[in-house]
Amino acid sequence: MKLLHTSDWHLGRALSNNQTYIQDQRFFFDRLYSIIREEKIDAVLVAGDVYDSGISNAEAINLYNEVVTEICLRAGVPMIIIAGNHDSGPRLASCRDLLKGAGLYLSGRLSADLSPVVFGNTAIYSLPYFSKDEAAAIFPEKKDEITSAATAMKAVCDIIRAGMDKTKKNILVSHSLVQNVELSDSDHSAQIGTASAVSKDVFDGFDYVALGHIHKPQSVSDKIRYSGSPVKYSFGKEENQEKGVVIIDTEDMSQKFVQVGELHGRRTVKGTYEEIISMKNLENCYLSIVVTDRTNAASLYNEMKERFPFMLELKGREYTISGAGTTVSALDIEKLDDTAILKSFMKDIAGMEPDEEQLELFREAVEASDREVEEN
């Protein structure tokens, strides 16, 4: 049978100005439906972080309902979905027993029942995101050996391995961080949660491990793989990633990565105002813009936003502090000496520094302003 592995949808994720990535996510799902039809997929595996937050907004919930209805009911393709660290496990898995009848298999929390979903020659085990304390409480016989996230994962996988039917292809769906994988800037929880990383060896014995949690598609080994997020959620390394889904054929355990494309590109651009304003083919991209010859101000923001409607970030030229040989951002200006700011401002605007008479007038004005503030 043919399985499709995806993860880290992050439905409801904020974009800017209370907007979300819903149009980008809809673009992905339209592509996903086509891949399911074209590749004759038998089941879809979703390895966690369906939502971006445990308290999801109505827009995200409605999109999720549309997707599972389209795949399970209209296409007749079963889905196995686990909760990630961003999901609310109990909410995601509500009505799970009822939904099995529609082909939707949900795992919100770690359970003592680790029995798989079986399709033909394939047994699919689900391990939603869990902590070592949860594992120790659910499997008290393993309590002494569960001292970390890594030993907790090994203990749970040992229980699964002990009951495996080795005449079948055994697939594991897990939301976890494996040591030494490549992170993206949008992998915030993984960047601060390296203590929860596990060795790839804990997954020995499975024919394929469908992982979620890391946004860059990558293979951990020939049997362990992250599908990655279907949408680019950060600048930096993620800009050049090809997003997609993984297809596994359980007859020969071959794997194929299928790109899904993108509604909006994502790029960081840097240059002078004139250079950037004349750039072509960026109107449909999410942009982080660095303007090297102008300081950031409302007027610059408005001009760039009009030219590039999907601009998300804007940074202006840094100030050079005369005589100091250093540059600082506009955010740090308030920390500087008033006289240094004046010198930098006049050099920037007038091309010259103030003379001593002008400096004295400036100091008198500052002192008068300070007295007025104190009196009021």
Q: What tokens appear for 346 in the block?
A: 């006049």
Give whole-number Cα distances, 84 to 51, 216, 226, in Å.
8, 16, 13
In whole angstroms, what is the distance from residue 127 CA to residue 176 CA? Answer: 9
Has residue 268 been placed in a domain?
no
Left if phi > 0, otherwise alpha if psi is -120 to 50, otherwise beta: which for 113? Answer: beta
| 244/313 same-domain check | no
Query: Helices 356-375 and 338-350 meet at what angle, rounded to 10?
Result: 130
Give whole-number Cα distances, 152 to 50, 94, 138, 143, 205, in Å.
23, 25, 11, 9, 17
Q: Which of 224, 259, 294 is the last residue of a domain?
A: 259
DSSP state of 288: E
| 193/96 same-domain check | yes
Do you know the residue count of the chain? 376
CATH of the domain at 171: 3.60.21.10
Digits of tens for pLDDT over the chain (376 positions)? 999 999 999 999 998 767 889 999 999 999 999 999 999 999 999 999 999 999 889 999 999 999 999 999 999 999 999 999 999 999 999 999 999 999 999 999 999 999 999 999 999 999 999 999 999 999 999 999 999 999 999 999 999 999 999 999 999 999 999 999 998 888 876 766 566 899 999 999 999 999 999 999 999 999 999 999 999 999 999 999 999 999 999 999 999 999 999 999 999 999 999 999 999 999 999 999 999 988 877 888 899 999 999 999 999 876 544 444 444 444 444 445 677 767 766 665 566 778 888 888 888 787 777 666 556 5
In whole angstroms, what is the distance from residue 192 CA to residue 185 CA? Answer: 12
Q: What tokens appear for 13 in the block?
A: 């994720």
Q: 156 — phi, psi (to 5°)?
A: -65, -45
In whole angstroms, what is the distance from residue 231 CA to residue 125 CA? Answer: 26
pLDDT value at position 366? 75
| 62/187 same-domain check | yes
Rounded to two decimals, the pTM is: 0.83
| 153/292 same-domain check | no
Q: What tokens appear for 73 in the block?
A: 């009911």
| 150/295 same-domain check | no
Q: Which of 210, 229, 259 is the last residue of a domain?
A: 259
In whole angstroms, what is the distance from residue 7 CA to residue 225 CA? Answer: 11
Has residue 242 been placed in a domain?
yes
pLDDT value at position 323? 44
pLDDT value at position 131? 93
pLDDT value at position 195? 66
pLDDT value at position 324? 44
| 198/310 same-domain check | no
| 179/296 same-domain check | no
| 217/73 same-domain check | yes
Has residue 264 been placed in a domain?
no
Q: 198 — phi, psi (to 5°)?
A: -120, 155
Q: Which of 204, 236, 259 is the last residue of a domain?
A: 259
Of 170, 137, 172, give the one whose Cα is nearest residue 152. Answer: 137
| 147/10 same-domain check | yes
Count of domains forming the chain: 2
The per-residue DSSP string of 198-262 comes to: B-GGGGTT-SEEEEES-SS-EESSSSEEE---SS--SSGGGGGPPPEEEEEETTTTEEEEEE---
Has residue 266 been placed in a domain?
no
In whole angstroms, what is the distance from residue 305 CA to residue 316 CA? Answer: 14
347: domain range? 274-375
Instruction: Give the count of alpha carbons within 13 A of 240, CB side only.
Output: 2
User: What is the CA 151 to chain-centroid distance, rounded?
Assistant: 26
